[in-house]
Amino acid sequence: MSWRKIPMKFPGTCIICKEKINVNEIGLWAKDLGVKHEKCAEITELQCMVCGKSAGCSQCEFQESCDIPNVSSFCLCKQCSDDTSALTKYKKSTNKKFSILNS
């Protein structure tokens, strides 16, 4: 999947930080994925999908093969992944952050 740098013709919402991207602002766009800020594409430390804390990328067992720009909204920290109710919390968090999945 290739991200294309484009000047925004319509306002959009960054899939990483959820903030607005204004008309004429430069955004990175990928078909079927959405748009994100250039600065958000440079993220090197992910946030946990459930608690919002650092996901611990430097200690992650998948660090070598992780594609951070494409998984950043879905990662879990070690503490949340060890929780016995992790799957339930993950589902609630996913439904809240990505309400379109609820339909």
86 pLDDT above the threshold of 80: yes
**Mean residue pLDDT across the chain:** 83
At 39, is the secondary structure helix, strand, or coil? helix
State how far the Cα of 93 lies from the Cα of 24, in Å rounded to an integer. 32
Q: What would the pLDDT profile of 27-47 be if each residue is shown by its tens digit?
A: 999 888 889 998 887 766 788
At 59, is the secondary structure helix, strand, or coil? helix
Domain limits, the chain: 4-41, 44-102
Q: Return the structure tokens found at 55.
A: 């996901």
pTM to 2 decimal places: 0.49
pLDDT score recorded for residue 30: 87
9 pLDDT above the threshold of 70: yes
Q: Return the structure tokens found at 46.
A: 């992910």
32: left (phi over 0), alpha (psi -120 to 50) or beta: left
51 pLDDT above the threshold of 90: no
75: left (phi over 0), alpha (psi -120 to 50) or beta: beta
Regarding predicted confidence, which is higher, 56 or 70?
A: 56
